[in-house]
A and B are shown apart, each in its own frame.
Chain A
Amino acid sequence: MKNTIADRVYDFLKKYPPFDIIKKEDLITIAENVTIAYLEKGKVLFKNDDNKHGYFYIVKEGGVVLKKNELPDAEIIDICDEGDVFGLRPLITNDSYMMTAIAEEEALVYGIAIDVFKPILEKEQHVGLFLIESFTSKTKTPFTNKYTNDLYHDNDAISVGEKDLQELQIIKYTGNPFCIDKDDLVIKAATRMSENRVGSLIVIDEHKLPIGIITDKDFRHKIVTGVFNNRVPVREIMSFPVETFKKNLTITEAQLAMVKNKTGHLVITEDGTDQTKAIGILTEHDVVISQGNSASGLMKAIKRSRSSKELRKIRQQITHLLKGYIFQNIPVTIITQIIHELNEAITIRVIEIALDRMPEKPPVQFSWLSLGSHGRKEQLLVTDQDNALVFEDVPNDKYDDVKKYFIILATKVNILLNKVGYEFCPADMMARNPKWCQSLSEWKSQFSHWIHHVDNEDILFSSIFFDFNRTYGSKELVRELSESIFSATKYNPLFFTLMGRSALQNPSPLGFFRQFLVEQDGEHKDMFDIKARALMPMIDAARILILSHKIKSVNNTAERYEKLAELEPSNKEFYTSCSYAVKALIKFRTKHGLMQHSNGRYIILKELTKEERLKLKRCFKTISELQELIKLRFKVAQFL
């Protein structure tokens, strides 16, 4: 039996989530049971506290505004236009409505019969997840688990087990391998290995051709056990014959070769035979790293690396690792921790390399401070460097020399970091800048100036310094510095008011009609600036709130909100939702950065799915509440 009207309803529904992923026959059943409601402007579809309808709704035409209640000045929760679903409460819980739906303009809405929809929902978990996302984006607390469980009683974690064909990628071997002559003594080999922090040496003959390999294992089995003494030539204890291979092995080939030859080391030669020179060595460790799934492997590689070039490669692998984490839906808290540790290790390694290259040791104690996102431990993608250096106070006559030393050191570090892939800070907020390479007492007076003689520009400028984190060097210096900052902020309400004002100056994410506000011109025209419009307001608010509680050493924004939840039990729920929103936004930015190969700051809205937009909008709601709180608590209103 032909049913033209149901067909049209079907055609409409299938364009919009979650209906776009429902099987055709199911969707036709849904369409056949749709009720179409016409709402003239101002018509109330359901009211706060109304008993639940047998439907949930999707806007066919026009617009429906969701408000807390039907009073004209009630807070707007959301505005739905074509294709938006709303009124989901009857589907998800059994209570009456908690909001009011009013036609903002003449509207046609389709009511989806719940008794028809529910059986389908139980089959299709993705549909449910979308609806929950949509539902919670319009309710106060963004904790979805509770509702997920209401929908699916046996809610196992959904695993995303997708993996690209990494196994067929070409493995990167370590070039310029360390070699040793077959007649050199074992003790020389041992020294060379520990000096270079490597686990193996290629043993070469008089024609420089590889004839064997000597590894940690050989020392363990043959020297330490006393079978040989350390005065024998390496050829006595080396493993041979050597297995040689061409370059451009795939990961799988390398693994197979290792299993087959019962070795953990493959020697790469110019043409793959042992009749040409060794050009590289490939270890189990390289295999692990190439797979990019081992944070500990990368950590080891960082510690062992000797140049910015190596670190750059590792940094790229970190991005690969990050991608895996993000797409496997590993919690953002864990991801940020791991990636932060790796970033931190890279910076430390860079500083160590730079120190090695200095003609002499540092004249006094110093600390390397990371600022901004790195300082907040939430840097996932490679961004600009923001750093500073503090050194011990010295007598005046030595000051110039000491400062010069640290500026040279900082310049080296900045350049190396740049080579690794961290761009220079456009505002030159880097330790090589004499303004940000100062002695402890200079820093103290700098902060004191920022706090006591605030003008607005100072605040904007100094705010990232309040997120500093010690990366390298003396703990004592940093502790002293933060203590002096906290005692200076203690009796200074004006500082907080101005800081609050600057926290509110970020451009807002949504326009009056709840549409995304995009950049008007420039390189990123029509893109959405997630950093300035969404992340910065949350970061700034967390900073001022945590400073006002005089909590130091919590730098991470999400952790700051968790700490705030602990400190203000009455706002616990709200702060927890802030923490959640920050994590969601960071993940969002990272995901898009990974897809666009950028730092993820600018998002192309057209590429977002409806689900993603809802998720973003949900975070924005938290932001506006947060800004309200800042406004009241720090009495910012009079300055706005």
Chain B
Amino acid sequence: MRKWFKKTKIEYPTFWNSYKSYFDKENLNIPLKDVTFVVLDTETTGFNYTHDRMLCIGAVKLRGNLIDVGSSFELYIDQTAFNPDSVEIHGIMKNTQFEKVSETKALREFLAYLKDSVIVAHHTYFDVTMINRALERNGLPYLLNQTLDTGHLFKKTKAINRLLQNDRGYSLDDVCKELNIPIKDRHTAAGDAMLTAQAFLKILARLKFKPASSLKSLIRK
């Protein structure tokens, strides 16, 4: 009986352990200029967390208001569970000319890239859940990172008023339009990540966050 309650120590692969080790000294009080954000977007076969799969992860790193093109991340994943309905949105065919990797390898590379960065995405819950489900399938725990949602933050820039009917969800297209970001490569993971990164920077400026503001103040927003 006691044995049943005792935590079974599961052995995780090395890449997970090294990912996890970054969170030992997590500090939410560091100024924003020293925070590395990973702005990401995933393309999936559909919107069902159980049946659908990630086809691509695209991300850029952002630190101190700078986006480093050299540190962008773009991986195409070989998926057997393929839902033909989503092809039209994303334009990723099962047999594209790009090099594709297995889901396990993609996760391994992504975690090595991600480290303890703060995840930024548009409607983060969807992307993070998709990644978490994939981790789960591979016998791994969920992501440990702090997350920020540009959809949520964008709404904070607006005076929400019932008369203006602006208490609603904003798509990445809406956000880009309102923030004057020219839309390019919409519906490719890396392209959307890039748009999200630009939107994120513009939103921070509108919310009057300074490079010295703490990460905590942004997460609590």
| A interface with B by C-beta (< 8 Å) | 1-6, 8-9, 31-40, 61, 106, 108, 111
Contact = CB atoms under 8 A, between A and B. Distances in A.
A2 B198 contact: no
A8 B194 contact: yes
Nearest to B194: A5
A38 B72 contact: no
Contacts of A39: 65
B40 to A, nearest CB: 12
B13 interface: no
Contacts of B88: none
B66 A3 contact: no
Contacts of B69: 5-6, 9, 31-36
A8 B188 CA distance: 12
Nearest to A10: B69
Contacts of A108: 198
A37 B58 CA distance: 19
Nearest to A30: B69
B74 A37 contact: no
B181 to A, nearest CB: 8
B67 A4 contact: no
A6 B69 CA distance: 6
A405 to B, nearest CB: 74
B99 A3 contact: no
B191 A36 contact: no
A40 B198 contact: no
B30 to A, nearest CB: 20
B205 interface: yes
Q: Which 3 A-B pairs have the closest CB atoms?
A: A40-B205, A38-B201, A4-B190
12 contacts: A4-B58, A4-B72, A4-B194, A5-B74, A8-B191, A32-B69, A33-B69, A35-B68, A35-B70, A36-B66, A38-B198, A38-B201
Contact of B184 (A1, A6, A8, A38): A8
A38 B98 CA distance: 30
Contact of B65 (A1, A6, A8, A38): A38
B67 A38 contact: yes
A601 to B, nearest CB: 38
Interface residues of B, number: 27
Contacts of A35: 66-70
A2 B185 contact: no
A4 B74 contact: yes
A5 B72 contact: yes
Contacts of B202: 38, 40, 106
A72 B104 CA distance: 55
Given A35-B70, A61-B182, A111-B66, 15 more contacts: A2-B74, A4-B58, A4-B74, A4-B185, A4-B190, A5-B69, A5-B193, A8-B184, A34-B70, A36-B67, A36-B68, A37-B67, A38-B67, A38-B205, A106-B202
Interface in B90-134: 98-99
Contact of B185 (A8, A34, A106): A8
A35 B61 CA distance: 10
B77 interface: no
A31 B70 CA distance: 8
A215 B178 CA distance: 85
A40 B68 CA distance: 18
A32 B70 contact: yes
A490 B20 CA distance: 88
Contact of A4 (B65, B70, B180, B188): B188
Contact of A33 (B70, B191, B193): B70
Contacts of B172: none
B76 interface: yes
Most B CB within 10 A of own CB, among A8, A36, A108, A111: A36
A61 B195 CA distance: 13
A5 B191 contact: yes
Interface string B160-195: 000000000000000000001010110011110110
Most A CB within 10 A of own CB, among B58, B182, B205: B205
Contacts of B184: 8
A600 to B, nearest CB: 38
Contacts of A33: 69-70
Most A CB within 10 A of own CB, among B68, B69, B184, B194: B69
A32 B68 CA distance: 9
Nearest to A55: B66
A161 B180 CA distance: 48
A6 B193 CA distance: 13
B32 interface: no
A107 to B, nearest CB: 11
A351 B4 CA distance: 121
Contacts of B72: 3-6
Contacts of B188: 4
A2 B184 CA distance: 16
Interface string B60-88: 10000111111010101000000000000
B98 A106 contact: no
A198 B66 CA distance: 77
Nearest to A4: B190
Contacts of A61: 180, 182
Contacts of A34: 69-70
A79 to B, nearest CB: 19
A441 B67 CA distance: 77
A35 B63 CA distance: 11
Contacts of B66: 35-37, 111
A456 B142 CA distance: 84
A185 B41 CA distance: 102
Contacts of B65: 37-39
B134 to A, nearest CB: 21
B105 to A, nearest CB: 14
Most B CB within 10 A of own CB, among A9, A32, A108: A108
A36 B202 CA distance: 13
A108 B198 CA distance: 9
Nearest to A7: B185
A2 B182 CA distance: 22
A301 B72 CA distance: 70
A8 B193 CA distance: 13
A490 B11 CA distance: 100
